[in-house]
């Protein structure tokens, strides 16, 4: 069967109208299947959720939707509107903890995105390239890695967190319903390409993400995916997306108690997190689960390796040779630029500005005031990383790639030097504070 040239656009427009998954919308367009009343009701439910959420956040709708029902506020769960999301997972758990009523014992304000990100491990560096038959990938991670980011966050935030995994989809729903019935939101782990509002053809099938189930909406569920709007998803679609996880199958977590952590606990955990972060960057800590021959791609050593490969114009591991084809160059630079701007594995200023905020906030914990002296170093690093990101041009002509790579190499050398100085100084302060506390 012939396919219309704008099939993808038509499928996405139909998804917006009907609430169908991309695959279903595409199939129905090709077979000429009309839009069903049930699909129209799903779209109405999504509009309802968006309008209600906008009303709670004080956002004026762009245009009225006559078909949508009124949005009674008492039918919506008490759930915070997303603040400026700099790191996806830390921001997601900030909202979960706000909903649970957990606060910072020092400020009595919610545990901030910055504090949670720092406790999770904060910042790091990893770079990898892989050559395939038709493309060359460029992966750059500036978040803490390879340590388990979310698990560290949950272990160190000091809140009471209940985690469950099960091979039974039925049992998973029972666990989730019990938490929702208790008035708690539930974080679940899903395969991204299985979500109805995601184009599954454009996402790696192994890629996962955590969502928060906020509550029920008629026969469906409202979930927070960090977009700023609660999405409607059917029970069946969520179960399918969760079941595609081969590891940690049907994982979920929630906060059953509003009990806040002790200030001393947060202070101890902050020092543990800083030691992990700085030692990983400086290469003094063994990387869990990473073969020795890959270690050169991590931390400050990885930054220097990256700079050398950017500058290399002759060998097959140099970027000038790896990206000598225009299509590979455009694809690789688009991917690299995406990692630098994405909020899951990178972000604005390579998350160094967020880490500066963490140090400032951690300085308010008992005995940790000296940490505030290091935040300026990470603010400076955020600026250096932003300058590096501006050098990455996905539209660069292949004949101009080597000069661009040379500029990127010079910028990376400056970053590596500043990162080493900042991490060395911070590690020394953290070690001194830990010895004083013991």
pLDDT bin (cut points 50, 70, 90) of residue 137 is very high
pLDDT bin (cut points 50, 70, 90) of residue 203 is low
- Segment 160-169 mean pLDDT: 93
pLDDT bin (cut points 50, 70, 90) of residue 4 is very low
**Containing domain of residue 57, as a range?**
12-74
Structure tokens at 111: 């545990």
Sequential DSSP letters for 172-227: HHHHHHHHHHTT--EEEEEEGGGSTTS-GGGS-TT-EEEEEEEEEETTEEEEE-SS
pLDDT bin (cut points 50, 70, 90) of residue 219 is confident
- DSSP code at position 35: P
CA 186 to chain CA centroid, Å, is 17
User: In the listed set 254, 274, 298, which residue is the last one of a domain according to the structure?
Assistant: 254
* Cβ neighbour number for residue 336 with a 10 Å cutoff: 21
Cα 304 to Cα 281: distance, rounded to the nearest angstrom: 12
110 CB burial (10 A radius; 0-12, 13-18, 19+): buried
Q: What is the domain-level CATH number for residue 232?
A: 3.90.70.10
Give strand pairing partners of 188: 211, 252
Residue 89 lies in a domain: no
* Average pLDDT taken over every residue of the chain: 86
* Residue 43, pLDDT above cutoff 80: no
> Which of 235, 202, 229 shows the shortest CA–CA distance to 79?
229
> Of 197-206, 316-325, 345-354, 394-403, which gets the smallest average pLDDT?
197-206
**pLDDT for the residue numbered 14:** 75
**Shared-domain flag, residues 305 and 211:** no
Comparing 62 with 214, which gets the higher pLDDT?
214
* Residue 243, pLDDT above cutoff 80: yes
User: In the listed set 218, 237, 254, which residue is the last one of a domain according to the structure?
Assistant: 254
pLDDT bin (cut points 50, 70, 90) of residue 287 is confident
Do the beta carbons of residue 245 and residue 190 sit within 8 Å?
yes
Residue 236 lies in a domain: yes
Give strand pairing partners of 93: none
pLDDT bin (cut points 50, 70, 90) of residue 198 is confident
> Of 197-211, 283-297, 344-358, which gets the smallest average pLDDT?
197-211
pLDDT bin (cut points 50, 70, 90) of residue 30 is low
Within 8 A by CB and 6+ apart from 280, the residues are: 121, 124, 144, 147, 287, 298, 299
**Shared-domain flag, residues 365 and 400:** yes
Cα 195 to Cα 172: distance, rounded to the nearest angstrom: 18
> Which of 242, 199, 225 shows the shortest CA–CA distance to 50?
225
Residue 80 lies in a domain: no
- Segment 120-131 mean pLDDT: 96
pLDDT bin (cut points 50, 70, 90) of residue 338 is very high
**Shared-domain flag, residues 428 and 348:** yes
Residue 107 lies in a domain: no
What is the dihedral sign for C-alpha 233, 237, 242, 246? Answer: negative
**pLDDT for the residue numbered 32:** 67
pLDDT bin (cut points 50, 70, 90) of residue 2 is very low
> Of 22-36, 298-312, 332-346, 380-394, which gets the smallest average pLDDT?
22-36
**pLDDT for the residue numbered 293:** 82
**Shared-domain flag, residues 423 and 401:** yes
Per-residue pLDDT of 53-74, as tens digits, reads 444 444 333 333 333 333 333 4
Do the beta carbons of residue 239 and residue 169 sit within 8 Å?
yes
What is the dihedral sign for C-alpha 47, 49, 53, 58? Answer: positive
**Shared-domain flag, residues 284 and 432:** yes
**Shared-domain flag, residues 208 and 353:** no
Per-residue pLDDT of 299-321, as tens digits, reads 999 999 999 999 999 999 999 99
**Shared-domain flag, residues 300 and 381:** yes
- Segment 34-40 mean pLDDT: 58
- CA distances from residue 316 to 137, 309, 319 in whole angstroms, order as listed: 15, 10, 8
**Shared-domain flag, residues 189 and 268:** no
Counting residues of the chain whose pLDDT is more than 90, the rounded percentage is 67
Among left, alpha and beta (phi > 0; psi -120 to 50; other), residue 196 is alpha
Half-sphere exposure of 102 (CA within 13 A, CB side): 26
Cα 338 to Cα 9: distance, rounded to the nearest angstrom: 22
- Segment 131-148 mean pLDDT: 94
Residue 6 lies in a domain: no
Cα dihedral 351/352/357/361 (nearest 10): 100
**Shared-domain flag, residues 279 and 423:** yes
**pLDDT for the residue numbered 217:** 83
User: In the listed set 207, 233, 254, which residue is the last one of a domain according to the structure?
Assistant: 254
Residue 85 lies in a domain: no
Cis upstream peptide for 146 (omega within 30°): yes
Residue 69 lies in a domain: yes
pTM of the model: 0.82
**Shared-domain flag, residues 121 and 171:** no
- DSSP code at position 400: G
- Segment 221-241 mean pLDDT: 91
**Shared-domain flag, residues 308 and 272:** yes
**Shared-domain flag, residues 281 and 375:** yes
Sequential DSSP letters for 76-141: S---PPP---SSHHHHHHHHHHHHHT-B-TTT-SBPPHHHHHHHHT-EEEEEEEEE-SS-EEEEEE
**pLDDT for the residue numbered 249:** 82
Domains of the chain: total: 3
Residue 92 lies in a domain: no
């Amino acid at each position: 069967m012939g396919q219309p040239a704008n099939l993808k656009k038509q499928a996405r427009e139909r998804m917006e109208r009907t609430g169908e998954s991309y695959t279903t919308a595409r199939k129905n367009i090709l077979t000429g299947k009309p839009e069903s009343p049930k699909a129209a009701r799903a779209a109405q439910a999504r509009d309802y959720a968006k309008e209600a959420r906008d009303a709670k956040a004080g956002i004026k709708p762009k245009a009225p939707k006559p078909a949508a029902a009124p949005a009674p506020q008492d039918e919506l769960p008490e759930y915070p509107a997303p603040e400026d999301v700099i790191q996806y997972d830390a921001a997601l758990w900030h909202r979960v903890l706000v909903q649970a009523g957990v606060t910072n014992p020092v400020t009595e304000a919610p545990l901030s995105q910055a504090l949670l990100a720092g406790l999770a491990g904060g910042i790091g560096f990893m770079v990898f390239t892989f050559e395939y038959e038709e493309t060359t990938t460029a992966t750059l991670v500036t978040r803490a890695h390879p340590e388990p980011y979310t698990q560290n966050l949950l272990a160190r935030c000091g809140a009471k967190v209940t985690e469950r995994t099960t091979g039974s989809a039925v049992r998973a729903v029972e666990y989730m319903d019990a938490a929702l019935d208790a008035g708690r939101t539930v974080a679940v782990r899903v395969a991204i390409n299985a979500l109805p509002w995601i184009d599954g053809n454009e996402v790696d099938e192994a890629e996962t993400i955590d969502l928060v189930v906020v509550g029920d909406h008629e026969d469906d569920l409202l979930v927070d995916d960090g977009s700023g709007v609660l999405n409607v998803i059917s029970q069946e679609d969520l179960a399918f997306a969760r079941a595609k996880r081969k590891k940690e199958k049907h994982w979920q977590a929630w906060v059953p108690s509003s009990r806040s952590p002790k200030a001393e606990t947060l202070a101890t955990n902050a020092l543990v997190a800083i030691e992990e972060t700085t030692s990983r960057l400086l290469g003094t800590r063994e990387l869990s689960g990473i073969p020795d021959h890959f270690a050169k791609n991590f931390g400050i050593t990885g930054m220097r390796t990256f700079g050398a490969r950017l500058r290399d114009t002759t060998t097959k591991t140099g970027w000038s040779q790896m990206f000598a084809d225009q299509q590979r160059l455009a694809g690789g630079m688009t991917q690299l630029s995406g990692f630098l701007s994405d909020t899951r594995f990178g972000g604005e200023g390579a998350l160094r500005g967020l880490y500066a905020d963490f140090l400032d906030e951690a300085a308010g914990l008992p005995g940790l005031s000296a940490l505030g002296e290091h935040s300026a170093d990470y603010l400076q690093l955020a600026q250096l990383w932003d300058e590096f990101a501006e050098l990455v041009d996905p539209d660069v002509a292949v004949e101009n790639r080597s000069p661009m790579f040379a500029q990127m190499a010079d910028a990376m050398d400056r970053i590596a030097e500043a990162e080493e100085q900042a991490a060395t100084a911070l590690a020394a302060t953290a070690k001194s504070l830990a010895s004083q506390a013991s």
